[in-house]
Amino acid sequence: MTVHPAIPQARSIGAQHPRVRDLLTVRKDGAPGRIMIEGNWEHDRLFATEAPIEAFFWCPEAGTTAAVHRIADRAAEVYRISEKLLTRLSRKTRSDGLISIVRLPVWRPCTFRFTNSSLVLVADGVEYAGNLGTLVRTVDAADADCLVLTSRRARPSHPAVYSASRGTILTTPVLEFDDIAEAAEWLRVHGFRIHLADPSASGSYRDRAYDGPTAFVVGSEGSGLSKDWHEQGCETVSIPMLGQADSLNVALSAGILLFEARARKEGW
């Protein structure tokens, strides 16, 4: 007989409970500022941050682990759900019965302070949540200061962003500007040299010095950079294509550019 860990504060709820409807809204990326987190490693990553857990949904029949108690102790609300309801709520083929609603951190442009070693990635018009999450992870890996979003289509609150970012969406600053000119001006005020990643540019990304605050702007997967960015008077750089493809995936391109600049700044 399987013995499930007891969680005294857990309330058993069904499909019509308001919190379940709330979770479904978050699952569909309909609640900006909050994100759905599901799974053991996803919660392990959560424990490395201070992000608040608004609600925790637990299905003991799914074979959950001792992490249940840690999550429950940190969550503001704890609910026990059935296997049938878990199937409806889960985004995974095989769920381990751990789902939380987590509040995303809020980052404000006025709080940033930059140096000559600063790096910023701007993602313009990013369409897919998986790519957005990978961009967040890449910014973290290159020790860049933040990710700036313009003309955003995918939202940081999409559950796929958490998985693709390996949880770094909770610790990597993400700023959003409604206006491209405003984003460009914010970077210029802080002394950034802005480089537009453009496959048609004649200058290679390796021909730059990157000796001050550096920003790269990458475009959407489908249509590339907005013309509004090209109207900002920024210089363009390209990654030479040596095969038949005319461009790289946006996250891969961002990684090449950020790590090249980081290597120059740190003297690798």
207-223 residue pLDDT tens: 988 999 999 999 987 77
Q: What's the burial of 172, exposed, middle or buried (CB within 10 Å: 0-12/13-18/19+)?
A: buried
Average pLDDT, the chain: 92
Range list for CATH 3.30.1330.30 in the chain: 11-103
Alpha helix stretches (DSSP H) within 154-249: 159-164, 180-189, 227-230
For the cut 70, the answer to whether the pLDDT of residue 16 exceeds it is: yes
What count of residues does the chain have? 268
Q: What's the burial of 162, exposed, middle or buried (CB within 10 Å: 0-12/13-18/19+)?
A: buried
Would you place residue 1 in the very low, low, confident or very high pLDDT band (cuts 50, 70, 90)? very low
Correct CATH for 109-266 of 3.40.1280.10, 3.20.20.80, 3.90.1150.10, 3.40.50.720: 3.40.1280.10
pLDDT digits (tens, 9 = 90+) for 142-196: 999 999 999 989 999 999 999 999 999 999 999 999 999 999 999 999 999 999 9
Topology (CATH) of 11-103: 60s Ribosomal Protein L30; Chain: A; (3.30.1330)
Range list for CATH 3.40.1280.10 in the chain: 109-266
- Taking the C-alpha atoms of residue 126 and residue 116, their distance in angstroms, rounded to an integer, is 27
210: left (phi over 0), alpha (psi -120 to 50) or beta: left
For the cut 90, the answer to whether the pLDDT of residue 5 exceeds it is: no
For the cut 50, the answer to whether the pLDDT of residue 45 exceeds it is: yes
Q: Are strands 146-150 and 235-237 parallel, antiparallel or unpaired?
A: unpaired
- CA 25 vs CA 10, 20, 22, 38, 187: distances in Å: 21, 9, 5, 15, 35
Question: Looking at residue 107, what is its pLDDT?
Answer: 97
Give the pTM: 0.92
